[in-house]
Chains A and B, each alone.
Chain A
Amino acid sequence: MNKPEEIVKDIELTPKKGDWMTPEVEFKKGRYCYGAPLKHQQYLELPNPREWQPSDIDWRLPDNWQEIILKGMADLLKKNRSFRLFMDICVRCGACADKCHFFIGSGDPKNMPVLRAELLRSVYRRYFTLQGRLLGRLAGARDLTVEVLKEWFYYFYQCTECRRCSVYCPYGIDTCEITMIGRELLNLVGCNIQWVVEPASNCFRTGNHLGVPPHAFKETFDFAIDEIKDLTGIKIEAPINRKGAEILFVAPSADYFASPHWFTFLGYLMLFHEIGLDYTWSAYASEGGNFGLFHSMELAKRLNAKIYAEAKRLKVKWILGGECGHMWRVIHQYMDTFNGPADFLEVPVSPITGTRFEHAKSTKMVHITEFTADLIYNNILNLDKSRNDKWRVTFHDSCNPARSMGLFEEPRFIIKNTCNHFYEMPENTIKERTFCCGSGAGLGADENIEMRLRGGLPRANAVDYVRKKHGVNMLACICAIDKAALPPLLEYWVPGVEVCGVHELVGNALIMKGEKQRETNLRGEPLNTEGEAEEKE
């Protein structure tokens, strides 16, 4: 019998040579997301609707697909000055090259942001620049072939639009926006994924990604009210579609539908009850998230419209938003241009503390951690930190609140005021340099698990460090995709660390007027487990 080393002798260990200009992708199971189902493509009236999978040899593109894409590119170049700029000014300095979690985790060079962008840039050069037209490959220009299109699809759906690379680019090139444009172009010929199109289509129909109709929405609230009664002895109210309330509250649908999001949802409800907030939920603006953003600007705008529409219908004064990541990118960077100006609303002022949220005077929408941090800062809340003693907490900066909003301190301020044990991950893995969960921008599909685990390695590696150093057992975050994506990621890389939202910690610590002695935390686990956290001191 051959010795094992002889068997492996024949294995090709050196990587294949070949330059990046030759498009080459193989759709292997576990590393790509499935195509969008026909019925959802039709529901959203998307171009070239058909049952389709990326692994199909024939993608059944329209006959004139090249023409469609090149025209789309010309339109976008005209419309977005940034797009032309990003195409023209990259000097290939390489500063962004090793900043992408997918490159770091996979070692695939086409996951270097500069090369990801080059996939599109090479086609831009070929058709939109003189050198490219004249010199072709010599000028780094490529013809738009089916292989190139497949490669676009493969790598633009391996970018979580996290913007980490953009932090390091001396020219401010944002590869995330290049990915967004790449996806937009792919959509023109009907190439998109189930995990983006289906929730977007649900959202269009029911107002939320999960397709929850109003009666189920209401029913879920009833469950929550019962649960809070059991926990605290207090029967709270959770107003839905209440006209004339002062504030409209909008959260990602996962908060009231998924776990561990659910406990954050309980935290919001308890907090609003405790401060006697005059507010309402909306059964139609029942989704803060916006998967349209991962498809095209047009769809993002269509899905976003309901927030202002509901604010207007319900005659509120301003809007408060829950713990979501990409929702805040849309609100902070696009909502005003998409569907504003919201001049029927007022500049947000906290009815409890009187704080005027000047920074939100244009969008009229405030982030829940800004709102809660302000309450704590003004000593409004009665908090018992020891109720979170079971947890040794670290905080994951979700990409969008961190890099699109610069929201660093508010969540940390809340955690430090609701927990006794808080430990930061290393400086170069947090705040604006935070590492993505690896599942954003619609890539969180189960069929894409391997890619997600690769992309999430740098994040998990930093969690592993604080786990070993400080015994961290809870990763707090303020994003619904994180709350879904991080538990499986940690199960693979760092077992023993759980995931929670910041308002779950608030709900635990909050001493409510007239509450009974709390026996458990929001998860139903017994309190008074001091021993667990103390051991490691």
Chain B
Amino acid sequence: MGLKDILVEKRSEILNAWSDMIMDTYPPDAAVFYKTEKDRFLNPVGYIVNEGIGHIYDGLLNGGSAETLAYAIDRIIRVMAVQDIPPSKAVSFVFMLKKVLKDLIGIDTTNNVIIQELNDLYDRIEETALVAFDVYMGCREDISRIRMDEIRQHGYGATMNPHILKRRRG
């Protein structure tokens, strides 16, 4: 069995472990909730993370489109960027996949082909983490832009109507 076959076979086991590891970075009460509530509307964080890591996993495996990969990373990082999670910790969710793989796939260390494939996969995971870092910075920029727009048009959170703005600018 090649690496890809192993990864396809163990897909759900790996994704579950990866997801649990991400959720365990939250305080215990939140971790339990994020792991167990399965309704996507009642638990958006759990849903977004699980959906996202699924896309990322498949993308890494099959070389999925850059667009889908970027979308999945954006969805997850967008949540973390407002959650009091510093960038280093936010992007670490990508590296966790390496740890999970090391723990779970139990490969034959004498099989050079598989080891080479695995190293290639690790490289792709690292590239993904770098993308995640850029996405994080992009989200933080979005937040400051949104805030600046509010300050410019201040009126108790309300964007002023066009007439008033015109009059204010003179």
Contact = CB atoms under 8 A, between A and B. Distances in A.
Interface in A182-213: 195, 199, 209-210
The majority secondary structure among interface residues of chain B is: helix
A259 B158 contact: yes
A426 B41 contact: yes
Nearest to A94: B29
B142 A492 contact: yes
A446 B150 contact: yes
Contacts of B84: 28, 31, 106, 108, 450
B83 A106 contact: yes
Contact of B143 (A14, A462, A465, A492): A492
A421 B129 CA distance: 41
Contact of A428 (B28, B30, B42, B164): B42
A254 B158 contact: yes
B42 A98 contact: yes
Contacts of B48: 461
B102 to A, nearest CB: 11
Contacts of B26: 15, 107
Interface residues of A, number: 64
Interface stretch (B9-17, B58-66, B85-93, B112-120): B85-93
B78 A485 contact: no
Nearest to A427: B41
A465 B41 contact: yes
Contacts of B154: 446
B106 interface: no
A192 to B, nearest CB: 15
A525 interface: no
A491 interface: yes
B161 interface: yes
B68 interface: no
A355 interface: no
A13 B25 contact: yes
A348 interface: no
Contacts of A257: 155, 158, 160-161, 164
Contacts of B40: 461, 465
A121 interface: no
B78 A108 contact: no
Contacts of B45: 104-105, 107, 457
Interface string B116-155: 0000000000100110000000000011001101110011
Contact of B41 (A109, A461, A484): A461
The majority secondary structure among interface residues of chain A is: helix
Interface stretch (A3-11, A306-314, A357-365, A383-391): A3-11
B39 interface: yes
Contacts of A12: 89
A134 to B, nearest CB: 29
Contacts of A398: none
Interface in A417-467: 426, 428-429, 439, 444-447, 449-450, 453-454, 457-458, 461-462, 465
A447 B92 CA distance: 28
Contacts of A428: 39, 41-42
B7 interface: no
B34 to A, nearest CB: 7
Interface residues of B, number: 52
B46 to A, nearest CB: 10
A388 to B, nearest CB: 21
B143 A484 contact: no
Nearest to A289: B156
A96 interface: no
A107 B26 CA distance: 7
B155 A446 contact: no
B162 interface: yes
A261 B27 contact: no
Contacts of B164: 220, 257
B70 interface: no
A355 B42 CA distance: 40
Given A104-B44, A112-B29, A491 B146 contact: yes
Contacts of A128: none
A129 to B, nearest CB: 25
A450 B81 CA distance: 9
Contacts of A341: none
Contacts of A112: 29
A186 B33 CA distance: 31
A261 B44 CA distance: 29
A11 B163 CA distance: 51
A8 B88 contact: yes
Contact of B126 (A3, A259, A439): A3
Interface string B94-121: 0100100000000000000000000000
Contacts of A338: none
Nearest to B142: A492
A447 B147 CA distance: 7
B30 A8 contact: no
Contact of A488 (B78, B91, B92, B149): B149
Interface in A85-144: 97-98, 103-109, 112
Interface of A: 3-5, 7-8, 11-15, 28, 30-31, 97-98, 103-109, 112, 195, 199, 209-210, 220, 223, 254, 256-262, 426, 428-429, 439, 444-447, 449-450, 453-454, 457-458, 461-462, 465, 480-481, 483-485, 487-488, 491-493
7 contacts: A13-B89, A97-B29, A104-B44, A108-B84, A450-B82, A453-B143, A481-B157
Given A98-B42, A261-B158, A439-B157, 14 more contacts: A4-B129, A11-B89, A13-B89, A97-B33, A105-B82, A254-B155, A259-B162, A428-B42, A450-B143, A457-B45, A483-B158, A484-B158, A492-B82, A492-B143
